Structure 1
């Protein structure tokens, strides 16, 4: 449990630093940020709840299938 909390905190720090650097050094489409930020948060919470309910084996296969599908898509594009 502590490692998950530490991982979450580290992820928050990294995301915050990234946002600050990009907002200072690059043009930002704030309308896109306003749309993506809440939906990303909601997706993270819902994804975590779904991942807790799925059996480990099913979750692993879902991750593998999604990763392979994205890899093939990027290779074709």
Structure 2
């Protein structure tokens, strides 16, 4: 997992440097995308694998397809 975090961080830093102030679409597998989201939220590493009603990163932001209410990481339940 450390290798994925290092690679995602390097790609993120490169994208930010090349496209500062622009909107960038990133298409990838779920692992790197969750890592990128976790880094952007400055969330602890364990949140990468926690999901559900008690916290963690959202699995699906569409409430019609999920039985959980989604909220930003760290917000009160």
Instruction: State if a TM-score over 0.5 links the two structures.
Output: no
The structure with higher relative contact order (CA 8 Å, sep 6+) is 2
Report which of the two structures shows the higher radius of gyration computed on alpha carbons.
1
- When the two structures are superposed, what TM-score results if normalisation uses the length of structure 1? 0.37
- When the two structures are superposed, what TM-score results if normalisation uses the length of structure 2? 0.37
Question: Counting helix residues as a fraction of each chain, which structure ranks higher?
Answer: 1
